[in-house]
Amino acid sequence: MTDTCIRDCHALVPDASGSLTIARNQDILVRGGRIAELRPTGGPLEAGVTVLEGQRMLAMPGLINTHAHVPMVLFRGLAEDVPIERWFNEFIWPLESNLTEADVYWGAQLGLLEMIEGGVTTVADHYFHMDRVAQAVEEAGTRAHLGWAVFGSNGYKVLAETAAFAERWRGGAGGRITTCMAPHAPYTCDDGFLRASAGHANRLGIGIHIHAAEEMNQTNASLEKRGLTPIQVLKDTGVLGVPTLIAHGCGLLPQDIELLEKHRASVGIAHAPKTYLKLAMGMTPIRALRKAGIAVGLATDGAVSNNTLDIFESLRLMTMMQKHEAMDPEVLPIPEALDIATRGSAAALGMGDRIGKLAPGYQADLILVDTRGAHWQPPHNLAAGLVYSARASDVHTVMVEGRVLMRERRHLTLDKERILNEVASTMERMARRVPESRIQSYKP
Amino acid sequence: MTDTCIRDCHALVPDASGSLTIARNQDILVRGGRIAELRPTGGPLEAGVTVLEGQRMLAMPGLINTHAHVPMVLFRGLAEDVPIERWFNEFIWPLESNLTEADVYWGAQLGLLEMIEGGVTTVADHYFHMDRVAQAVEEAGTRAHLGWAVFGSNGYKVLAETAAFAERWRGGAGGRITTCMAPHAPYTCDDGFLRASAGHANRLGIGIHIHAAEEMNQTNASLEKRGLTPIQVLKDTGVLGVPTLIAHGCGLLPQDIELLEKHRASVGIAHAPKTYLKLAMGMTPIRALRKAGIAVGLATDGAVSNNTLDIFESLRLMTMMQKHEAMDPEVLPIPEALDIATRGSAAALGMGDRIGKLAPGYQADLILVDTRGAHWQPPHNLAAGLVYSARASDVHTVMVEGRVLMRERRHLTLDKERILNEVASTMERMARRVPESRIQSYKP
């Protein structure tokens, strides 16, 4: 791979105090898949570098989706305006009984296509038939943190098989794939199963990606049934003893945050506000989590609840909802919102030393956002533009480890036409619901 | 103008019960600026019609922005993360002292450009130097409901001048422009001034567009000062005796809704949820208003609070916020959300008999939304797509009164390059803030 210079872009970088700001008219030199240098534009170029023109583009770290079920794009729009119990029992879990391995592969390709178009370079995916997701990621050229979802009812043998997946793909796709254990949730996995999950994770030196305290009703049900919150269950079963990525935390109590604070070096919270609004799940207490030093990252969840895999949308909703809930427009100002979207998300995945920042030594996972649209004019405040005006469709160029995956919105790794055709061909079959064949029951 | 046939599109239309649904594979015949017929595609075409291919496009009524300050796009991004008092007193009102008539003209052009690109065909604009806004609307080819904003401190003479504007432009741009009186708000206009505004409106047979009960603090301040809510003030001063468009109503009390119910034939509420979230203003009680039969429409407010003039974004936020606030995901289901975005907004402007519906006899103000993007796939549910997946950038074709304003995202009426250059040339001057020169003080 040749070295690349992104010339004369604006760049989202930390200032001297660490706060994110826009450095105007920068060159970004990429060498060996990493960022080598950021410098004011206008100097001489190194011999042999490939130049990517960046005028009126805003360079920022590639977006990170800290919790998704990517292949669920196949079911987009099939479960609308229903409460969470019906959403699971009458829609999602019956629908998922339709899935074949091939469906998961094409669903993953479609989701990756949508995410690349929206500037997402890393996704933490939590789903089934994960070898096929890993294959799709390898082909797409993105980065991913993959866990094979299992329920307690699947049994310990399946848990061992998903541990084998984690071992098989750890470091896959030239190091772009990391893996984890992915027990579904405390309300679908008994304590022994969670303990066994933590055991596999410990043995392999990896983490756990799990749903917990998704909404307050779950927390209350857990307290009623056993006198413990879902987070206390994670503690007691050893899950918090390994690096843990928790979705979604709308049901966190103050004592849960105290508990998580003790594990803050290795705990992250994935926040998917669009799903919470659509399903009326409440909202993650982001300010309290941040105050306790716990990493919070942005997420989209699956497209059956979230409809899109758009992290710009998650960023905007997170920021606005925190102001609304606090009844204070000064809460979560723009630099902090951008911090969560970049360094926060990277830290939530335990990758804060490698991605989420435009700085020498970091992976060259970055995007160029086109600021030439009418909705960006006049460009008084590009940072505000990123939070409040940017659309996924403004993403112009996407790079992962120095390799360009999309340029001028043309895909260089994925075959868009083929993917859309393959997905269209299974559309009718995907929409069939057989309630009796549901893969699981929701009863927290 | 020749007749046009939009061929083989999907169309958002009322079903037999009046609920909005998607009719697939329709031809839409447009004749004399109006919709003449919707019919299943495949039949023979009338001689001499111009064909617009609509395959995989979704036709819907042109979006309506029921409350904006369009030229404020000039200040986009200049007032972030501040409470409403500082927003007005330290930012908006000092900034607005920079404005010249020419600025308003180019700001209006930029805002119209952004709105056309986002499928907005009608805007209710409430601003200054409105002759220049009217001129911009005339050139852009859109529809607009225009009121010249005045404060009580401007005096009665200026009120008479703005009434003269309303008279001058009423029926302007070939009938596409309607006008109204636009006193700013009960907290900036005394009772006599409001009464005089209603007097002018009565005399001219037009309505009033006004801010009232924008947030609960305003309502409380009014109750404290004079024992009346802002809505009661509108009643007592005769404002509610003429057609009234009220922004934003986050401070409505139950007794206000009862009062508005009595005037529901001629009252509309403009709802701009993004602004409310950003400024932590609370939320309009849409369900109670709709239950009382009061028209609610979607809006963006100005771009200094809302950052974008994107009605798809307002639609999505409205829908999700109503679910969130009610803690009930079944609230405001998709057909009702689309009803508000189309017929509701038209009714709020008193134009429900002319726009907001794809039906014979209605104005041919319509847009084609491109459903081919990855974020729309697979297209199980196009109505859900409109509410939860559509982006302003999906708008492919925009038509007003049968005239195409944008096709394949190319503008046919506005000169985008010139507008962006003109706006860029004044950018530095626009950003200057001289607190002493503020045009008004916020002290409700």
**Which runs of E-coded beta strand occur in A225-306?**
244-248, 267-271, 295-298
Tens digit of each residue's pLDDT (9 = 90 or more) over A190-231: 999 999 999 999 999 999 999 999 999 999 999 999 999 999
pLDDT at res. A441 = 83
**Nearest chain B residue to A77, by CA:** B381
pLDDT at res. B435 = 66
- For the segment A300-325, the average pLDDT, to the nearest whole number, is 98
Q: Residue B347: what residue type?
A: A
Give the contacts of A335 (CB within 8 A, at least 6 positions apart): A19, A20, A21, A383
pLDDT at res. A435 = 66
Say yes or no: B378 contacts chain A, CB-CB below 8 A. yes
**Whether residue B389 has pLDDT greater than 80:** yes
Question: pLDDT grade, residue A262 (50/70/90)?
Answer: very high
Residue A125 sits at the vertex; the CA angle it makes with A35 and B391, to the nearest 5 degrees, is: 80
pLDDT at res. B264 = 97
Task: Give residues 73 to 92 of A whose Cβ lies within 8 Å of B.
Answer: 73-78, 80-84, 87
Nearest chain A CA: its distance from B14 CA (Å): 19
Q: Which residues of A touch B430 (CB under 8 A)?
A: 378, 380
Nearest chain B CA: its distance from A154 CA (Å): 30
Tens digit of each residue's pLDDT (9 = 90 or more) over B331-378: 999 999 999 999 999 999 999 999 999 999 999 999 999 999 999 999
From B74, B372, B374, residue closest to A114, measured CB to CB: B374
Rounded to whole angstroms, the Cα distance separating A391 from A311 reads 10
**Whether residue B436 has pLDDT greater than 90:** no
Say yes or no: B68 contacts chain A, CB-CB below 8 A. no
Task: Give residues 105 to 134 of B whose Cβ lies within 8 Å of A.
Answer: 110, 113-114, 117-118
pLDDT at res. A1 = 67
Joined together, the tokens standing for residue B190 give: 């005394």
Within A50-186, residue ranges assigned H as helices are 84-86, 93-96, 101-117, 130-140, 156-169, 172-175
From A381, A391, A424, residue closest to B392, measured CB to CB: A391
**Whether residue A154 has pLDDT greater than 90:** yes
Say yes or no: A431 contacts chain B, CB-CB below 8 A. yes
- For the segment B394-414, the average pLDDT, to the nearest whole number, is 98
Rounded to whole angstroms, the Cα distance separating A379 from A388 reads 13
Q: Which residues of A touch B307 (CB under 8 A)?
A: 384-385, 388-389
**Nearest chain B residue to A372, by CA:** B420
Nearest chain B CA: its distance from A259 CA (Å): 27
**Nearest chain A residue to B274, by CA:** A320
Say yes or no: A380 contacts chain B, CB-CB below 8 A. yes
- For the segment B32-53, the average pLDDT, to the nearest whole number, is 96
Pair A242, A183: CB distance under 8 Å? no
Q: Which residues of A touch B424 (CB under 8 A)?
A: 377-378
How many of the other CB atoms lie within 10 Å of CB of B190?
A: 15
From B283, B375, B423, residue closest to A377, measured CB to CB: B423
Rounded to whole angstroms, the Cα distance separating A337 from A318 reads 8
- For the segment A80-87, the average pLDDT, to the nearest whole number, is 92
3-state secondary structure of B58: strand
CB contact under 8 A, B280 and A334: no
Q: Which residues of A touch B309 (CB under 8 A)?
A: 375
Joined together, the tokens standing for residue B107 give: 């700001």
pLDDT at res. A224 = 98
- For the segment A240-254, the average pLDDT, to the nearest whole number, is 98
**Whether residue B440 has pLDDT greater than 90:** no
pLDDT at res. A176 = 98
Tens digit of each residue's pLDDT (9 = 90 or more) over B222-272: 999 999 999 999 999 999 999 999 999 999 999 999 999 999 999 999 999
Q: Which residues of A touch B310 (CB under 8 A)?
A: 375
CB contact under 8 A, B113 and A393: no
Rounded to whole angstroms, the Cα distance separating B281 from B278 reads 8
pLDDT at res. B1 = 67
Tens digit of each residue's pLDDT (9 = 90 or more) over B51-90: 999 999 999 999 999 999 999 999 999 999 999 899 889 9
Rounded to whole angstroms, the Cα distance separating B319 from B290 reads 13
CB contact under 8 A, B77 and A384: yes
Say yes or no: B436 contacts chain A, CB-CB below 8 A. no
**Whether residue A332 has pLDDT greater than 90:** yes
Say yes or no: B19 contacts chain A, CB-CB below 8 A. no
- Chain CA centroid to CA A318, Å: 14
Task: Give residues 274 to 313 of B whose Cβ lies within 8 Å of A.
Answer: 274, 276-280, 282-283, 307-310
Average pLDDT along chain B: 96
Rounded to whole angstroms, the Cα distance separating A127 from B181 reads 57
Say yes or no: B415 contacts chain A, CB-CB below 8 A. no
Rounded to whole angstroms, the Cα distance separating A146 from A171 reads 11
3-state secondary structure of B152: helix
pLDDT at res. B443 = 84
Tens digit of each residue's pLDDT (9 = 90 or more) over A161-184: 999 999 999 999 999 999 999 999
Give the contacts of B181 (CB within 8 A, at least 6 positions apart): B147, B159, B162, B163, B166, B197, B198, B200, B201, B206, B207, B208, B209
Q: What is the ipTM of this complex?
A: 0.97
**Whether residue A2 has pLDDT greater than 90:** no
CB contact under 8 A, B333 and A81: yes
**Nearest chain A residue to B393, by CA:** A393
**Whether residue B437 has pLDDT greater than 80:** no
Say yes or no: B396 contacts chain A, CB-CB below 8 A. no
Residue B27 sits at the vertex; the CA angle it makes with A429 and B409, to the nearest 5 degrees, is: 85
From B278, B282, B388, residue closest to A320, measured CB to CB: B278
CB contact under 8 A, A377 and B324: no
Rounded to whole angstroms, the Cα distance separating A58 from B423 reads 20
Question: pLDDT grade, residue B98 (50/70/90)?
Answer: confident
Q: Which residues of B touch A82 (CB under 8 A)?
A: 329-330
From A80, A327, A333, residue closest to B384, measured CB to CB: A80
CB contact under 8 A, B416 and A82: no
Q: Which residues of B touch A75 (CB under 8 A)?
A: 380
CB contact under 8 A, B114 and A384: no
CB contact under 8 A, B381 and A326: no
Residue pairs between chains A and B whose CB atoms are closer than 8 Å: 188
Torsion of CA A118, A344, B322, B251, to 10 degrees: -120
Rounded to whole angstroms, the Cα distance separating B202 from B11 reads 39
Nearest chain A CA: its distance from B409 CA (Å): 12
From A276, A320, A424, residue closest to B277, measured CB to CB: A320
